[in-house]
Structures are given as C-alpha cells and as structure tokens.
Amino acid sequence: MPNLMEKTLSQAIEQRRATPSFDGAPIPDADLKKILEAGLHAPSGYNMQPWRFVVVRSEEGKRRLRGASFNQPKVEEASAVIVACGDADGWRNGDLEEMLRLGREAGMPENYAESARNNIPNYLANHPDLTAWLTKQVMLAFTSMMLMAEVLGYDTAPMEGFEQEKVREVLKLPLSYTVVALLAIGHLSGDDKFYGGRFNMARTVFDGEYGKPIKL
Ligand SMILES: Cc1cc2nc3c(=O)[nH]c(=O)nc-3n(C[C@H](O)[C@H](O)[C@H](O)COP(=O)(O)O)c2cc1C
C-alpha cells in the first residue's frame, strides 16, 4: 500500500536526517515511481536533463553496491538505493533532439529551437568542466527525490562514500557516465543520528553584497 499521509515540505525539510540504518522493508512501486518522477521534474540547464538513475533493489544488487561503497551497511539495508549519474554524452546521443521535440510539442518557438540546436552543442562541447555541469544538474533531481521520499514518510541517506570505478563496474555503466551520489531510501531502524546543527545565517548569508549581514 502506498503511503497516503504526506508530510508538508516544511516538515520534511525540518525532520530529514541522514539515516544511519534502515529496516530493509520493500518499498511499494507506486511510492518509488512518485519519488523518481519528482526528480525527473527538476529543472536543468537548457532543459537538457543529463541525469540518469539506476535503482538498486535486489538483495544481490545492494550487496554488490555496498562492496563498491566502502562497505557502508546502509547501502544493503535500504529498501532501494538510487544511484544518481550524469551522462556527459547524452546531448550527443539523442537528448538534444528529444528535448527539442518535447519543447516543440509544447509550443517552443521555432527560432528558439534553431538557436538551441547550435548553442547547446557549442556550450557543452567547449565546457571547461563538464563533470561540474553534470553534478549541478544531477543534484537538483537528487534533492527533489530525497525530499519527495521524506514527504511520503520515508527516511533517506545521501551518500558520496563510493568508488566511482567500482560502482561503474557493478552497474555496468557506460564510460560517459559519472556517478554523482547515492540516495538510500527506506525506514529508519534503531535510533536516528544526532542533529549536527547548521551554521547561523550571519556566517552563510549576505544581504546584497559580500560581508553585509542580512536582517530578517
Ligand atoms: C552529498 C552527500 C554525501 C554524503 N555522503 C555520506 C556517506 O557516504 N556516508 C554517510 O554516512 N553520510 C553521508 N552524508 C550524510 C552527511 O554526513 C549528513 O547529511 C550531514 O552530517 C548532516 O546531517 P543530517 O543530514 O542528518 O542533517 C552525505 C551527505 C551528502 C549531502
């Protein structure tokens, strides 16, 4: 049964913790679909959607992924682990055409489509740091998924503790893929971790220019 008691976004943001341990109960497909769709709704530069996700749910799959993730137990304990990747070659391999096709279907002006067809390959082929570009896009989708999971009553754990080449091998990823982060989803088992606190706005937010404190 999918969970029908959704949290508000404010509750989800406030209550979310990086979950230390999961109970391993399976996640219903309807919930998983809603979580994935939340990610796919995220914005991306030029709407190029260079993200790709591998959902790992089987016991064997999670065990192998754990082996590529510094043996972190929660990779195996989670109901599902979403491996968030960016594809550096998506735009060369049909994504640009698909983005334009979808856009045109929804009323994209023809002059925009024409200039996008030139500008996007030019921008991406000459990008000084494509991995940074991919990471930026993928983490937006990742965050939407994480928050949707929390809204649906799941607990989550974002993870960067994995070995790129090992994950690539376990999941049979193409060379153009960069693994950006892992999102473990499930239900907390045992005690939650302490809340580590957050820096005060005085340290992290400026009003209009660097160094000027914001008063709200
Ligand atoms: C991108 C990212 C990668 C992380 N990687 C790991 C990880 O590999 N293992 C782990 O135990 N926690 C990991 N964390 C969890 C952080 O340690 C945690 O979010 C932080 O301490 C704040 O705690 P909170 O999320 O419970 O508020 C990661 C968090 C983020 C955002």
Query: Rounded to an integer, what distance in angstroms lies between the CA atom of residue 95 and that of residue 131?
Result: 17
Query: Rounded to an integer, what distance in angstroms lies between the CA atom of residue 174 and that of residue 168?
Result: 8
Task: For the chain, give the percent of residues with pLDDT over 90.
Answer: 97
Would you say residue 2 has pLDDT above 80?
Answer: no
* Residue 166, phi then psi, degrees to nearest 5: -70, -40
Tell me, using a 6 A CB cutoff, whether residue 193 lines ligand 1.
Answer: yes
Tell me, using a 6 A CB cutoff, whether residue 159 lines ligand 1.
Answer: yes
Would you say residue 1 has pLDDT above 60?
Answer: no
- CATH class (in words) of the domain with range 9-190: alpha beta
CB 144 within 8 A of CB 38: yes
More confident residue, 3 or 34: 34
Degrees, nearest 5: CA angle 98-103-106: 130
Would you say residue 64 has pLDDT above 90?
Answer: yes
- At residue 142, the pLDDT reads 99
Could you read off the pLDDT of 161-174 as tens digits, one per residue? 999 999 999 999 99
Structure tokens at 211: 């160094």
Q: Residue 160 C-alpha to ligand 1 middle, in angstroms? A: 8
Q: What is the DSSP string of the chain?
A: -----PPPHHHHHHH--B-S-B--PPPPHHHHHHHHHHHHTS--GGG---EEEEEE-SHHHHHHHHHTTTT-HHHHHSSEEEEEEEETTGGGGTHHHHHHHHHHHTT--HHHHHHHHHHHHHHHHT-S-HHHHHHHHHHHHHHHHHHHHHHTT-EEEEE--S-HHHHHHHHT--TTEEEEEEEEEE-B-SPPPPP-----HHHH-BSSSTT-B---
Would you say residue 205 has pLDDT above 80?
Answer: yes
- Which residue's CA is the closest to the ligand 1 atom numbered 13? 159
Mutate to test the pocket of ligand 1, among 159, 162, 167, 185 (most ligand atoms within 8 A of CB): 159
- Which residue's CA is the closest to the ligand 1 atom numbered 29? 158
Residues across the chain:
216
Domain regions of the chain by residue span: 9-190
Task: For the chain, give the percent of residues with pLDDT over 70.
Answer: 98
Would you say residue 3 has pLDDT above 80?
Answer: no
Query: Rounded to an integer, what distance in angstroms lies between the CA atom of residue 183 and that of residue 78?
Result: 9
- Which residue's CA is the closest to the ligand 1 atom numbered 23? 18
Handedness of CA 197, 202, 204, 207 (dihedral sign): positive
Rounded mean pLDDT of 186-215? 96
CB 96 within 8 A of CB 117: yes
- At residue 11, the pLDDT reads 97
Would you say residue 51 has pLDDT above 70?
Answer: yes
What's the pTM value of the predicted model, to 2 decimals? 0.96
Handedness of CA 147, 153, 159, 164 (dihedral sign): negative
Query: Rounded to an integer, what distance in angstroms lies between the CA atom of residue 54 and that of residue 179?
Result: 10
Could you read off the pLDDT of 75-121 as tens digits, one per residue? 999 999 999 999 999 999 999 999 999 999 999 999 999 999 999 99
- At residue 204, the pLDDT reads 97
